[in-house]
Amino acid sequence: MTDFSTPIQFGELKLKNRVVMAPLTRSRASVDRIPTAMMAEYYAQRASAGLIISEATVISEAANGYEKTPGLFSDAQVEGWKNVTHAVHAKDGLIVAQLWHVGRVSHPDLLQGATPVSASEVKQAGYVSLLRPKREYVVPRPLAISEIKAIVEEYKQAAIRAKVAGFDGVELHAANGYLIDQFLQTSTNTRTDCYGGSVENRVRFLLEVVDVLIEVWGAGRVGVHLAPRGDEHDMGDDAPRETFGYAMQELGKRQIAFFFTREYLADDSISLEMKARAQGVPYIANMRLSREDALDLLRSGQAEAVSFGKAYIANPDLYERLVQDEELNELNLEHMIGTDVAAGYTDYPFLNKQLLES
């Protein structure tokens, strides 16, 4: 019977178990977006996961929406990531880089005065995350077609750098209301050119980026991260089953390594419908999963792997705790984001101290 410890092959990626560490923004990089030694320790501590998906990593300085998130657009950043990937591989772990452009989820104060870009001129409701004093999001500037092509190339260059940095593959962040999601969903895409209107046009940007990632890595080392519920950053789609179903149909044709959905289990969830159209592409389930939920998904074959976020922040040995059905550490909310100290980052206790020293 399939359970947490059952190995699986995702394309060219051989996972030693079915527990995946979700991408988690922690804002621990340098001001130049270079991964630090503390980040290498943090990821190495969690290398017993079947797969680590790195925190979201910007493909250019213009792609950012948060301070001190890491990048993959400079040689210094590549060198910093090498320390991370080497540390994970030394612990027999597997790690892919999540590539990211936030689009309108930014502010001129984070972009040297430039206006954030998006699919269309649709302002996001609410206030910019983490900037103080609080300030509202601004109306974004729609990307010209030539700019879209340039961003596709930036994704390709980031994928090349990820390979140099020693990652095992890449995952495209196309979820949570960031740039590619802004093209996918009707609430943020009101374009009338070849990137707007029909579902085929709205999915075009996603597929163009996936295709260049495949050029660099091969389909068997490329994953895609989607959020069909549209419950982050003021998103929404008129027909999510059609939009995300078509996206998965096209990704299935490309036989990518895996797809990951951030969608909690509910009667209106559509991830399993997406899986049905994915032509055998492995599915990683995520969001608010209990241990029992995760086992049910694996044992029933509804998901090939299960992923955890906050639980992995607080439990570097989460895989072992799930297998043994052990109590989990309490999450330190005070130090979730952006500090330069080990507290709440690399100081969470292991069940067995030997795991930390092995």
Which residues are marked as active site? Answer: 178
Three-state secondary structure call for residue 205: helix
Distance CA 71, CA 303 (A): 30
Task: Determine what percent of the chain falls in helix, strand and coil, rounding each to the nearest 5.
Answer: 35, 15, 50
> Quick one: which of 315, 43, 21, 294 has its CA closest to 171?
21
d(CA 358, CA 350): 12
What phi and psi values does residue 21 have, to the nearest 5 degrees?
A: -85, 120
3-class secondary structure, 154: helix
Q: Is the peptide bond before 133 cis (omega within 30 degrees of 0)?
A: yes
Q: Which amino acid is at 146?
A: S
| Token representation of residue 55 | 């925190």
At residue 153, the 3 state secondary structure works out as helix
Closest by Cα among 159, 139, 193, 165 to 43? 165
Task: Tell me the DSSP string of 56-108.
Answer: EEESSGGG--STT--BSSSHHHHHHHHHHHHHHHHTT--EEEEEE--TTSS-G
Lookup: tokens for 139: 């109306």
Residue with tokens 């699986």: 8
What's the rounded Cα separation, in Å, for the pair 338 and 69?
Answer: 9
- One-letter amino acid at 319 equals Y
